[in-house]
Structure 1
Amino acid sequence: MAQKKNTKSKASNAKKAVKKAQPKAAKTTAETAKQAVSNTQKRVQEQPLKMETTMAQTTKQFEEFLKGSNTASRESYEAFVKSGTIFAKGFEEIVRASMQLAQDSAQKQTQYMKEVLGVKTLNEFTETQNKIAQANFDDFMSNATKISEMSVKLLTEASEPINEQVAKTSQSMAA
C-alpha cells in the first residue's frame, strides 16, 4: 500500500508539474508558430524581389551576349570584306602581269619568226629552232614561277584578315 501511495504522490507531482509547465510550453509553441509564420511571410515577400533580381541579371547577361555576338558578326563581316578587297586587288595584279607576259611573249615570238625567216641553211634553221625552243621553255618556267609566287602571296595576304578574326573570336570565346 505504501507503494500505491508513493505512486499516487508521484502522479500528483507529475500532474502539478505538467499544469505548471503547460502555460510555458503553450507560450513557447505560440512563439515558435508565430516566428514560423513571420519567416514564411518574409520569404514569400522576398521571393518576387529575388526573381526580379535574377531576371534582371539574366536579361543583362543575354543583352551582353547579343552585343558580343553582334560585334563578332560585324567584325567577321569586315574581315571578309577586307579579305575580298585584298583578293580583288591582288587578282587584278595577277591578270595585269599575265597580260604583260602574254604581250612580251607575242613580241618575242614575232622576233623569233623574223630570225627563222632570216636563216639560209638547214643547220641555221635547226640551231635557231633549238634556241627558240629553249628560250620559250625558260620564259614559260620563269613566267609560271612569277605567277605562282604572286598567287601564293595573294592568298596569304587575303587570308590574313580572316585568320586574325578567327583568332580574335576564339580568344574571346575562351575568355
Structure 2
Amino acid sequence: MTKFTPKSLEIVTTQAKEQYEGLVKAGQEQSIKQFEQTASVAKEQFEKTTAQLLKGYEDLQATSKANVEALVESSTIAAKGAEDLSREVVAFSQSVLDKTITTGKALLTAKSLQEVVELQNSFLKSSFDAFVAEATRIQELSVKVTNDALAPLSTRVSATVETLKKPLAA
C-alpha cells in the first residue's frame, strides 16, 4: 500500500490540475479551429451562392432586354405589314372603282338591251374573279406578315425557356 503524504498529494493534485488545464486548452483550441473552419466554409458557400444569384439576375436581365427588343422588332414588322396590306386594299378598291366607272360609262352608251346584259355579266364575272384573286392574295400576304412578325417572338420564347431551364438543371 502506498502512503500519501501532504507533499505527494500536492504533486498529484498539481499534475491532475495541469492535465485538466491541458485538456481544457486542447478542447478550446479544437473548438476554435472547428468554428473557424465552419465559418470559412459558410463564407465560401455564401460567396458562391451570391455569385450564382448575381449571374442568374444578369442572365435574366439580358433575357428580358432581348425579349423587349424582339417585341419591338415584331411590332415593327407587324406595323409595316399592316401598312402594306392597307396599301394593297386601297389599290384594289381604286381598281374596282375605276372598273365600275368604266363599266357604268359603257352601260350608258350601250345600243341595246342585249349589250347592257352582256356588259353587266362581264362586269360581274370579272369583278367576282378579281375579288377572289385579291382575297387569296391578301390572305397569303396576311399569313406571311403574321409569320414574319411572330418569328422574333418565337425565337425569344425558345431562348427564354432555355435560359430559365439552366438553373433548374444545374
* TM bin (shorter chain): 0.7 to 0.9
Q: Percent identity?
A: 28
Aligned to 2:152: 161
Q: Which moved more, 1:79-88 or 1:164-173?
A: 164-173
Aligned to 2:35: 44
Query: Deviations for 1:6-41, whole angstroms, at most 9, x for unmatched residues?
Result: xxxxxx9xxxxxxxxxxxxx8xx9677665443222
Unaligned runs of 5+ in 1: 1-11, 13-25
Query: Deviations for 1:93-122, whole angstroms, at most 9, x for unmatched residues?
Result: 111111111111111111111121122222
**Quick one: distance in 1 between partners of 2:23 and 2:122?**
114
Task: Point out the structure with max Rg over C-alpha.
Answer: 1
**Quick one: distance in 2 between partners of 1:174 and 1:54?**
22
Query: Deviations for 1:36-84, whole angstroms, at most 9, x for unmatched residues?
Result: 4432221122232222212211111110011011000000000000001
Q: Which moved more, 1:32-41 or 1:102-111?
A: 32-41
How many equivalent pairs are there?
A: 152
TM-score by length of 2: 0.79
Aligned to 1:118: 109
What amino acid is the match of 2:76? T
Aligned ranges 1:1-175 → 2 under 5 Å? 35-175=26-166
SS at match of 2:111: coil
Unaligned runs of 5+ in 2: 2-15
**Quick one: distance in 2 between partners of 1:45 and 1:86?**
61
**Quick one: distance in 1 between partners of 2:71 and 2:113?**
60
TM-score by length of 1: 0.77
